[in-house]
Structure formats: C-alpha cells, structure tokens
Structure 1
C-alpha cells in the first residue's frame, strides 16, 4: 500500500514541477501538386505546439502534491497504529490462554493429589469405592480441560506467528494508561483529516483544469511555387484559445466533488467508530477495575474456605463431595481473579489504541 501511494506521490510531484502543464508536440506536414496540376509546387511545414499554464494551475498542482505527501505520511503512521492494534490483541490473547493453561494445570495437580489420597483411604477401608471413582472422574475432567486450554494456547500462538513471523513472545508487554483523553491525536484520525484536505485541494485544481490550456504554435514553412526553383522560407506563430464548455468541465468538477464527498463520509464514519471505541474503552476500564476488586475479595475468601475444607476432610468431619464443591468454587474464584487482572491490562492496551498511543 505504501509503495503504491509513494508512486502516486512521485507522479504528482513530477507533474507539479514540470516546465509545462502538458507535453509539447511537434507536427510535420508536406503538400505538393504531383497528383494535382503537376506544376512542381512544393510546401513543407513544421509546427511546435506549446501549452501555456492557466492562472493558478501550477500553484494548485503544487498544493495537491504537498497534500498528497501529507496524506502518505499520515497513512504510514495510521498503518503502524493499525498493526499495533492487531499485535496488542494477539499478545493479550496469548496471555489469557497462558493463564488458562496454568489454572488447568494447577487444577489437575490438586485433583491428582486428592485422587491419590482418596485411593489410599479406599485401600485402607476408610472410604467407599464411589469416592475413589468420583476422584478419578474429577482428575479426568481436569485433564480434558488442560488439553483444551493447551490447544487454545497453541492456536493463539499460531495467530501471533502469522501476524509477526516470530515465535518469540515479548517478555513484558504491559502498558501504562496514556494521559491522552480523546482520539484527536490518533494517527488514524489524522489520516482521515488528511484525505479530506487532499480531496479539497484536488477539487480546487479541478476547478482550474476544467478549462483547456491555451496553446501557442510556432511553425517554420518552406514553399516552392509552380515552375519556380527558388524556395521561400518563413516563420509563423499561432495562438489557439479554447472556449470553455459544460461538456468538458461538468464531469471533471463532478468527479472532484464526489472525491470530497467520499472523503467527508469516510471521516464522519470513522468519527462514529472512534467515538464508540473511546466510550467502550473507558467503560470497560472502569468495569474491569470494579470487577477486579470484587474478584480479589472472593478469591481471598475462597482460599481460606478451601484450606478449612481440606482440614475438615482430613479429620473426617466432611465428605468428599463437599470438599470437591469447595475446590470447584475456589478454582472459579481464582480463574475470575487472574482473568480480571489480565483483562484489565488488555483494556488499558485497548484504551491506548483508541487514543492513538503506540506501544
């Protein structure tokens, strides 16, 4: 995309800095009376056609070239921010799935330990066979969850590889929340503004170039009359002044107006999208912070509850089902807490993306 736009920019610079508004032309002509009266009349003529700049035409072409350069620069920065958004989502997707793998691995370890304990009790005659089978089922369920979590992590890493071509993940990709409060400095918004500016300068140029350029024609003529061996050499000049007409001007002006209309529509559509993105980013941040505070308290209570439940089971004061229920609640509380921690960092990255801050 950038290479193609650079080609367009170079072409506009060449046009704006050229000596003439269009290419000059040379024409040659010859006329004789061989097929006519046959009296030996000969005429040669060479014409040079030179177009003349219209008022403000060159100045407007230079403005279009400058506006195109600004648009290309804005497009380059906008593409960087767009790719940064893809990268942010990719790495935080990996972080979420990494956390799920760690949680399921820990759950499997707890379930395996509980299974071993219950099987020893069963072999010692202290527990029923149904308890041993229930513990085995819980271990198998934990293994299945771990397999699914590892598969999702593999998919997330593959998406990151397709995006970056790299296998390595950044060691640290947490971000501080940007001090910017809106998208006015976002390179994506700047690009939309630059497109409107470019379309308006092209419209101004179209207003001028809807008229044809005046042509100055220089000629050299060599003539030889009938039965005359002497040649007559002469030099002439001619001016061609075209008259304007709607048949030429109307489509050029309409195309320029369409370009401005499309640029304005694209900008306003983008404004709505950025407003929505800003609202969601700010709201998600406040919600995530509130949820994290709640999840933290729930996790603290759950850790204390599971410690008491394990002691109670070891002392024979509660059954296996009660312990497994508390362990399941603790696992959910831990997952909610750790996921909220990561989600908060992801929401900060999305907020920075919305205001246009690069990572």
Structure 2
C-alpha cells in the first residue's frame, strides 16, 4: 500500500557536514538560519481547522523580505553558549595544545636574544711536560672563551623570535576556527535531530487522533474493520519513527558532548548564530601572512650570519722548571671562521625556498577564502529560497489534510484517499523542517567561510 512506508519520509535529504579546504572533515549534519530557535511544528487539533473555503489563501512572500517561520521570534540570538562550549573544546583539543606548546618553545628562544654572548661560554685547559721529566720543564694553561655576536645578528634573531611567536599565535586562531567548524556541525546535528524528533512527535499525535476517528467510524459501521486497521498501522509506524528519532537525538547530543568534554551549554536552546556582517580578517590569511613574515625574518638572519660566530678567549699560563721561564702569563685568543659558499649557498637557498613557499601559500589561501565566501553566500540564498517554498508547500498540505479529514467525516472520501493526502502532508512537514535546518546550516557555513568564530 502507498501509505505504509511513511516512516521513511523523515529520513529524506541527507545532511552534509560543513567542510572547507581550510578546515578538517567535520562530524556532519546541519542547522537553520533564522534568528531564533526552532519551534515545534504546530498542527491543529482534530476538527479545529476550517474548510479551505473559509481559510485565507496562502500568502506569497516577497523574496526580498526576510522570512520568520512560524513559532519563531525575529530577535537575533547570541552565541554565548556555543562560545563557551568552544572554549571547553579548545581546552581538550590536542592540536590546540600542541600549537600553544610550540609557541612557548619559540618564545623561549628570547633567552638567547637577551644574552650578551651569542652562545654558551666554554672552559678549556692543557698541561705540557718535558720528556726529560716534569721537574725539568712543565707548563699548564686555563682558558675561558665565548662566541660573540656578528653585526646585526642579534637584531635579526630577535626578529625571528617575534615573527615565530606571532605565527604560532595566528595558527592557534586558525585551529580555533577549525574546531569551531566541528562544533558547529555537531551543534546543528543536534538541531536537525531535534527537528526530526518534533516532526515525529507531531506525526504520532495526529496518527493517534486519526486512529480514534477510524475506531469510532468502525464502531458505527460507517467503515469496515479493515479500513480501521489503517489507523492502527499508521500509529505503529509513527511510534517506530519516534523511537528512531529519539535515538538519533541522543546520539547527536553524545557526539557534541564528546567534542566539548561534556559541556553542553549551547544545547539548552538551539539557536541560529547571528550572521556576521564582515570578518575582521580570516585566521587562515593571518596565519599565512605570519608564516611569510617568519620566512622573511629567517632570510634576514641568514644574511646577517655569513660565518659562524667568532670566539674570543681569555687564558692564563703557568710555566715552571729550570729549562723554562718560571712564572705566570695571561693572554687573549681569537677564533675567526671564514665565509665559504659551501656553507652559505645552501642556507640562502633554503631561506629563499621557504619564503617562496610561504608567499605562494598566502596567495592560494586568499583565493580559496574568497571562493568559499562566494559559494557560501550562494548556498545561503538558495537555502532561504528553498525554505520559503517548503513553508508554502506545508501550508498548502495542512489545508489539504484539513479538507480531507472534513470530507472523510462527511463520507465523501474513503480511508485510502485520506491517507494519500496525509502522506503528502507528512512529506511537506519533513521537507519544511529540513529546509529550516538547511538555512541555519548555510548561515553557519557563511560565518565559517568568513573566519568568524562563535563569541559570547
């Protein structure tokens, strides 16, 4: 029979995880975009809906007018709950902790910049004796030496430390955006699952109402017992779908809690994020620019160190024995390496290669970010148009069901015809719920493409 596979209608339209070339593969499943929480899908009680002739025609909205779905407010909701959950997710994220540790390691090189010498000092010494015996001639010396800074080397090294710390800081911001992508998908997975759950609950309530009508009609002899079983079958199908939807909602919440380490502040009320007017600079662009600055700083350091650091030492010498000049002496020793192409050419080539790579990555990242923003805007416009059509379709389907139930009570149509109309209404309700979630998901994707993370 055509009405039996009704439980499969709510499973239509797979949700795709939010994913960009600049972010890792997320968990997957979506949201809605209107600035307020998803509301339960309202269905009128049995017998309370007037016939189509008594109802006003379906209003067609101007596409330029923002849509405020039924049961939702137009106020822009904040994302403070999502922001606090993002903080919790960052605290346990291995990638974020590794970047923070790397930043501390780069910052630790500042100790070398603050040092008055270019490296570690060294102690040295020697002892020499005549072969005719230590009493004839003996000599020993003790030396302390340290490398010295080349002209401009200290400032160049300080530049690499500063650029390296800034680069790791921007990479931490980029990692926060990547974690936000995962969190947004998990967040809207919960929103989508709860939307399906509300549709399933509404379907079950209506199925039980229709089943009671069938039972009364069967008891009065208006319909056959076989037709009355249609209502019972549909009720069981709705209960099965409700059980599946409840399990899916529980699974989505568990996946979200796994990302945040148990924090579920944002799930208290599923709200769409406010759409950011403009990003203040995409973290991926800032990280790529910082990587280029770090490569340029390293190239300046290579240019400032054409040789290894010279070494200056202070020594004292003691001589003794009848064949030597008895007494102490002091002196200075200098070790000055000479520049060679065998040393400098590979270093210059490596520095130039890093700078070329960083510059190319910056240009590519800029193109990717601009392309993602354009695609996200197109997707948001398409999702909003689909949501408007889905809402209108559902309004028409609600009118059809109301008219069909009235006709069934008056005996104008049979149970099979009523269930065919009701199947269309269930399809429309499911499509409307998915369209609402799709709009919110598209809004989150646009925020993600612009590099905007949830903020409290």
TM-score after normalising by structure 2: 0.72
Q: Corresponding residue for 2:338? A: 243
The alpha-carbon deviation at position 36 of structure 1 amounts to 4.3
Q: Which has the higher contact order (CA 8 A, sep 6+)?
A: 2
Give ranges in structure 1 of 5+ residues lacking alignment.
none
**Residues 217, 237 of structure 1: 8 Å contact kept:** yes
Q: Which has the higher helix share?
A: 1
1:252 aligns with 2:347: yes
1:333 to 428, 443, 456: 428
1:263 aligns with 2:376: no
2:301 to 171, 195, 205: 205
Distance in 1 separating the partners of 2:371 and 2:427: 32
Once the two structures are superposed, residues 51-87 of structure 1 have per-residue CA deviations (whole angstroms, 9 ceiling, x without a partner) of: 1211210010111111122123223322332222222
Q: Corresponding residue for 1:102? A: 198
**Residues 103, 169 of structure 2: 8 Å contact kept:** no
Residues 270, 152 of structure 1: alpha-carbon distance in 2 compared, 3 angstrom cutoff: farther
Give ranges in structure 2 of 5+ residues lacking alignment.
1-97
Distance in 2 separating the partners of 1:269 and 1:153: 39
Distance in 2 separating the partners of 1:268 and 1:3: 26
1:125 aligns with 2:239: no
Once the two structures are superposed, residues 191-212 of structure 1 have per-residue CA deviations (whole angstroms, 9 ceiling, x without a partner) of: 1211121122112212333521
Distance in 1 separating the partners of 2:296 and 2:404: 73
1:351 aligns with 2:446: yes
Distance in 1 separating the partners of 2:114 and 2:353: 27
Residues 340, 38 of structure 1: alpha-carbon distance in 2 compared, 3 angstrom cutoff: closer
The alpha-carbon deviation at position 13 of structure 1 amounts to 0.9
The alpha-carbon deviation at position 39 of structure 1 amounts to 5.1
1:304 to 399, 419, 422: 399
The alpha-carbon deviation at position 96 of structure 1 amounts to 1.0
The alpha-carbon deviation at position 251 of structure 1 amounts to 3.8
Once the two structures are superposed, residues 285-328 of structure 1 have per-residue CA deviations (whole angstroms, 9 ceiling, x without a partner) of: 11011112211221221111111111001111001111111111
Q: Corresponding residue for 1:31? A: 128
Q: Corresponding residue for 1:178? A: 276
Instruction: Give the match's secondary structure for 1:49.
Output: strand
**Residues 39, 227 of structure 1: 8 Å contact kept:** no
Distance in 1 separating the partners of 2:364 and 2:181: 19
The alpha-carbon deviation at position 37 of structure 1 amounts to 5.2
1:12 aligns with 2:93: no
Distance in 2 separating the partners of 1:163 and 1:210: 49
1:135 to 202, 223, 231: 231
**Residues 167, 291 of structure 2: 8 Å contact kept:** yes
Distance in 2 separating the partners of 1:2 and 1:178: 27
Moved over 6 A (4+): none
The alpha-carbon deviation at position 243 of structure 1 amounts to 1.3
Distance in 1 separating the partners of 2:112 and 2:448: 38
Residues 47, 79 of structure 1: alpha-carbon distance in 2 compared, 3 angstrom cutoff: same
Residues 227, 203 of structure 1: alpha-carbon distance in 2 compared, 3 angstrom cutoff: closer
**Residues 15, 21 of structure 1: 8 Å contact kept:** yes
Distance in 2 separating the partners of 1:227 and 1:210: 45
TM-score after normalising by structure 1: 0.91
**1:44-59 matched pairs, under 5 angstroms:** 44-59=140-155
The alpha-carbon deviation at position 184 of structure 1 amounts to 6.7
- How many residue pairs match? The answer is 355
Q: Corresponding residue for 2:173? A: 77
